[in-house]
Amino acid sequence: MHKAEIEKIKKLILNKSHTPLAILPNEKLIIEEINSETKRRNTNNITRTKAYLDFYQRYPKIHWSFLAHMVSRNGGYRMTDLKGEILPSLLEAEEIQNFFLFLEKANAFIFQDAYPQLLLYKKSVEKKKPLFHLLPAFGVSNAMSVFWERFWRNGNKEEMTLALIINEQSMLQTRLIAKIKDDYFYEKMLFFLQDRLELTTVFFPYKKKNKSRSPYSLAGTGISYFENPQNRIDIGKKLYCILFMKDLVYDSSFDFALKNPHTASRSDYWPQCYSSKNTGTQKVYSPELMTAWNDMSHTFSNDDWVRDETTQFIDALETISMPYQFDVTTKAKLVVNLSSEYKALST
């Protein structure tokens, strides 16, 4: 997108009216229905991840929903890693609980903000008219009514995806990351140490054409400097390109998603290396989420991330490009080998 168009969007967002909504009776029913459905699907990482895929299957123009499904799968893997083979022997129980709470809150906060937007788009399609003026009723940033109205007119899937990436990461910064309490400082530093070493990588399982019978290869990218919202936005753009601009990755990742219900065990994609059962085999133990963690309840805020200084994040709309390197299979195998060696030494 040209810089002039981006500046025009910034002005529209900053000048967006903050006057209270005048909600009609039929609109009130829509709001209640969407709130109820969002609460039902925002139970845990499993229900959220499935909700994204269910939506994308019906509305494939919303690329972000499938991207969110695949990224949310990875969020679940990190949650269960905390109860898996290695981390319980390296971290205190309180640290493990705090890490899980951070990951769970981030997953839940994004869903609470994004899923009502998806459902409101669904209602708009059904009623054949835009209903995006209702977005403030769900605590969604003023920025998003501008982008959804543009999408309704121009159908630009890439722009809409980038807008959602920008919005969700900016929202997460304002409502969660910036509010981490001082007593969480030590656990936060441990998380960032892991982050700096890029031991956390977002994986998209895919099949290479010449190895169709072999286990899934993995496309993706490492996550670093997680506390920086601009960096998270750039990572989101990179992941979007990998998933949607490489037909080989998209086709086989979508096929994987349909054939392999998300359990949050890494055995979902590499059953030859991971096991969801801790039975003493040579495989690395990676439990399912429903056996590792109980459901959590959350309190959500409606703080809007839009400020004069934060509109700089919208500059991310200017460019998008495919990363030169996207296969991370070798890196993932190294982590498995290290885990296996650690398991052998500890027993």
- Judged against a pLDDT cut of 60, whether residue 193 lies above it is answered with no
Q: Which pLDDT belongs to residue 188?
A: 63
Contact 328, 221 (CB under 8 A): yes
Q: Which pLDDT belongs to residue 222?
A: 85
Please write the tens of the pLDDT for every residue from 72-85: 999 999 999 999 98
- Judged against a pLDDT cut of 60, whether residue 35 lies above it is answered with yes
Nearest one of 151, 90, 144, 94 to 117, comparing CA atoms? 144
pTM for this entry: 0.94
* Lowest-pLDDT choice from 190-194, 205-209, 319-323: 190-194
* Lowest-pLDDT choice from 143-152, 193-202, 302-311: 193-202
Encoding tokens for residue 94?
Answer: 């309180």
Helix ranges (DSSP H) in the chain: 3-14, 25-41, 45-58, 63-81, 87-90, 93-127, 142-154, 157-175, 185-196, 229-244, 247-259, 289-292, 329-346
* Lowest-pLDDT choice from 2-11, 85-94, 286-295: 85-94
Instruction: Find the angle CA(24)-CA(30)-CA(36) to the nearest 5 degrees.
Output: 135
- Judged against a pLDDT cut of 80, whether residue 21 lies above it is answered with no
Encoding tokens for residue 213?
Answer: 């019978």
Encoding tokens for residue 69?
Answer: 């499904």
How much of the chain exceeds pLDDT 90, in percent?
70
* Lowest-pLDDT choice from 22-31, 71-80, 163-172: 22-31
Average pLDDT over residues 123-135: 96
pLDDT band for position 178 (cuts 50, 70, 90): confident
Task: Give the 3-state DSSP-derived string for 167-225, with helices as H, strands as E and coil as C.
Answer: HHHHHHHHHCHHHCCHHHHHHHHHHHHHHHCCCCEEEEEECCHHHCCCCCEEEEEECCC
Please write the tens of the pLDDT for every residue from 102-115: 899 999 999 999 99
Please write the tens of the pLDDT for every residue from 210-234: 665 668 999 999 887 778 899 999 9
Please write the tens of the pLDDT for every residue from 293-347: 999 999 999 999 999 999 999 999 999 888 888 999 998 888 888 778 777 776 6
